[in-house]
Structure 1
Amino acid sequence: MQRVVRSLSRPMATATRLQPATSSTLPRIVRYSSTSASDSYEFIKVSEPRARVGQVTLNRPKALNALSTPLIKELNTALRAFQGTPSIGAIIITGSARAFAAGADIKEMAPLTFSRAYLDSFIENWSELTTSVKKPIIAAVSGHALGGGCELALMCDLIYCTTSANFGQPEIKLGIIPGAGGSQRLTKAIGKAKAMELILTGKSFSGEEAEKWGVAARSYPDHESLMKATLDTAETIASYSRVAVQACKEVVNKSQDLGVRDGVDYERRVFHSLFGSIDQKIGMTAFVEKKKAEWFHE
C-alpha cells in the first residue's frame, strides 16, 4: 500500500487523520456497549455495539416507543453525532422486541389545530435523517412498526425485521393520513395497488410479507437473530471505504427521484468521480496484489 500512497504524493501520516475524533459539541457516545446509554438522552439509548457501528435504540417502553417531538429531537441529535464521528461507518436504529415504534404520540397530536401544525411545520423534522445523514442507516424492526414507526423504518436505507413484525399505516382509523412520507415511500416499495389497499383500510402486514414485498431486505425468526444479522451487516458495510459507501447510498437513493436514463447518467458521473479518490487506487491495487485493502477514507 505504501507504493500506492507514494505514487499519489500523499504521506503515510494521512492515516492519522482517520483516528476517531472527539468534540465537546457532540453528545458523548458510549463505545462498544450494546446496553449502555448516553447520559444526554431521556428517550433513546446510544451505543457502539461493534467496531465502527453506531446504534440508536428507541426507549419509551411504557408507550411502546411512540414517537414524540422530544424523542425525534434526541434521535436527530444522536444521528448527527454519529454522522460527525469519523470512526463510525454504519448506523442502526432499533427498538425493543415488543415494538420498534408503535406510532406517533397521539396525546401530542390530538389537540393540534391546522394553523398550529402548519405554522410549526409539525413532524417536518422527522425526515431530517434522510437529508442530514450520509452514512447508511439500517432499521432493525421487531414487534410493532405502525404509523410513524413504519414511516421511520421506511426512511432508513435498509430494513431488517422479524417475521412476526407488525407493519402498517393505520392513520385512516384516526381520521387522518400518513404525514411523514408513508404514502410516498410505501407506494414506491410495494406499488400503488397494495399501498392503496393498506392505507385506505388501515390493515397491517407482517414482517414475512414485508420481505416478500420488498419492504424489508430480510426477515428473521426472532429478535435475537435479527439483531445479530443487523450488526453483522452494519459491520460489513462499515469495513469498506467511507467514500465508496456514501457514493453507493447516494446513487441508489437518487434512483427513486430520477428516470432510468437520467439515473444511469447520474450514476456514471459519480462512478467517474471515484477515480479521483485515494481509496479507488488502494482498493484496485490491493485486489491485483491479492492483499487486504487498508482504506484511507479519502
Structure 2
Amino acid sequence: MQSSVVPSLEATTIPDFEGLEQLSSPIGQDNESVGTDGVRVGIDPTAAVAVVQLSRPAKRNALTQVMIDQLVTVLGQLDRSEVVRAVVLMGTRKGAFSAGVDISELTKLTTGEAHERRFLSDLNGAFEQFSKPIIAAVEGLALGGGFEVALSCDIIYATEEATFGLPEVSIGTIPGAGGTQRLVRALGKYKAMELILSRQLISGQELAQRGLVSRAFKSDEDVVLEAKKLADRIAAYSRPVVSMAKQAVLAAENNHLDAGMAAEKQLYYMTFSLDDFKAGTSAFLTKQQPEFKHH
C-alpha cells in the first residue's frame, strides 16, 4: 500500500461549490488545495455535514492508489468525528464523478501482488464500516470503480444524463470493488448480468426508474446542492438513531428475513435507552421540536 498525505479535516479548504457558499471550514485558510489531484474535504460545522470531493478532473477523477488511500483515511476520520453526522461524496462540478480505477496503474498489478495487497479490500471495508449516512452526488461519468464507489454509498442522487456502467469486460477484467454483488442486489441477476457482460451503459434517469438511484435531477437542477440539503436534514436527527436505522436497513441486505427482523428488533429496543429517545418522544407529546443531544 502506498503512503499518501491526507489533509487534516480541520485544515482542508472546501472546494468552491456553486450554490454551496454557506459551507465554511471550521478554520479559515488559503485555497491551497485547489487544482491538486486527490480527495478534498469540506465541513459545514453548523449542519454537521462533510462534503468529500474526488478531485482529479484532468483524468475524469480516475482513482489512483494514492486517492484510494486518501479516501479510506478520510472516511475513517469522518466516522470518528464528533462534528460530522452525514457525508456527501461528489466528483467534479458539471464534470465526471469518477471514470474508475486508473488503468495505467492497474496494468502494473499481477495476481500475486493483488492478493498480497488485498487490492481494493480496504476501500470496500471503509465504506462497509462507515456508520454514518453517505450520499453520492453523481454528475457525468460513474464507470467501473467510480460506479462501485457510488454503489457503496447509502443513497445515490444523480443527474438524469449521468452515465453509469461496469465496462471492465472490455479491457479484459471484471468489476472488483463489489460491483457484481451490489448490482445484483439492486437490479436483480438478469439486468446485472446484461449490464456487466455487454458493458452496457445506463443513465441516471433509468436507474432512478429502477430504484437504484434515489432521485434523478434535470440538467438545470443542482444535484450536489440537493444532496447537501438531504444530508442537512438527516444530520439534524439523532446521530445514534440514524446509525441504528442504517444498520437495520443493511441487515436486510445481508441476511434472510428472520435474521433481519431479529437485528431490527434488537436495534429498536436499544433506542429506548437513548437520551435522544426520551427527548424525541417528550417533544412529540408536548408538541415541541426535539433537541437531540446525539446520545
Same fold (TM over 0.5): yes
Structure 2 counterpart of 1:184: 181
Distance 2:129 2:189 in 1: 28
Structure 2 counterpart of 1:55: 51
- Match for residue 44 of structure 1 among 19, 35, 39: 39
Answer whether contact 1:27 1:81 (CA < 8 A) is retained: no
Once superposed, what is the RMSD of the aligned Cα atoms?
A: 2.1
Structure 2 counterpart of 1:10: none
Distance 2:128 2:76 in 1: 11
Matched ranges for 1:44-123 at <5 A: 44-49=39-44, 51-96=47-92, 97-123=94-120
Distance 1:162 1:45 in 2: 22
Structure 2 counterpart of 1:260: 257
Distance 2:221 2:180 in 1: 31
The 3-state SS of whatever aligns with 2:58 is helix
Answer whether contact 1:38 1:47 (CA < 8 A) is retained: no
Distance 1:101 1:154 in 2: 12
Give how far 1:223 is off: 7.3
2:138 corresponds to 1:141 = yes
Answer whether contact 1:67 1:104 (CA < 8 A) is retained: yes
Give how far 1:254 is off: 1.1
- When Rg is computed on C-alpha atoms for both structures, the one with the higher figure is 1
Distance 1:121 1:223 in 2: 42
What amino acid is aligned across from residue 92 of structure 1 in structure 2? V
Structure 1 counterpart of 2:19: none
Distance 2:119 2:12 in 1: 33
Structure 1, unmatched stretches of 5+, are: 1-24
Write out per-residue CA displacement over residues 85-125 of structure 1, whole angstroms, 9 at most, x where no aligned residue.
21211001100122000111000011221111111211212
What amino acid is aligned across from residue 90 of structure 2 in structure 1? T
Answer whether contact 2:15 2:40 (CA < 8 A) is retained: no
The 3-state SS of whatever aligns with 1:276 is coil
Distance 2:198 2:135 in 1: 28
Answer whether contact 2:97 2:139 (CA < 8 A) is retained: yes
Matched ranges for 1:1-298 at <5 A: 27-29=8-10, 33-35=14-16, 42-49=37-44, 51-96=47-92, 97-222=94-219, 224-298=221-295
Structure 2, unmatched stretches of 5+, are: 1-5, 17-24, 26-30
Distance 1:141 1:68 in 2: 19
What amino acid is aligned across from residue 234 of structure 2 in structure 1? I
Distance 2:9 2:116 in 1: 33
Give how far 1:169 is off: 0.3
Give how far 1:152 is off: 0.3
Answer whether contact 2:79 2:132 (CA < 8 A) is retained: yes
Distance 2:65 2:224 in 1: 26
Answer whether contact 2:12 2:40 (CA < 8 A) is retained: no
The 3-state SS of whatever aligns with 1:256 is helix
Distance 2:7 2:100 in 1: 28
Distance 2:190 2:173 in 1: 20
Deviates more, 1:171-180 or 1:113-122: 113-122
Taking structure 1 as the reference length, what is the TM-score of the superposition? 0.87
Write out per-residue CA displacement over residues 198-223 of structure 1, whole angstroms, 9 at most, x where no aligned residue.
00000110000110111110010137
Taking structure 2 as the reference length, what is the TM-score of the superposition? 0.88
What amino acid is aligned across from residue 276 of structure 1 in structure 2? S
Write out per-residue CA displacement over residues 30-84 of structure 1, whole angstroms, 9 at most, x where no aligned residue.
5894537685984122112462110111100111000111001111222222212
Give how far 1:224 is off: 5.0
Distance 1:31 1:39 in 2: 8
Distance 2:222 2:132 in 1: 24
Distance 1:215 1:173, change over 3 A: same
Structure 1 runs (4+) deviating above 6 angstroms are: none
Give how far 1:130 is off: 2.2
What amino acid is aligned across from residue 251 of structure 1 in structure 2? A
Deviates more, 1:219-228 or 1:263-272: 219-228
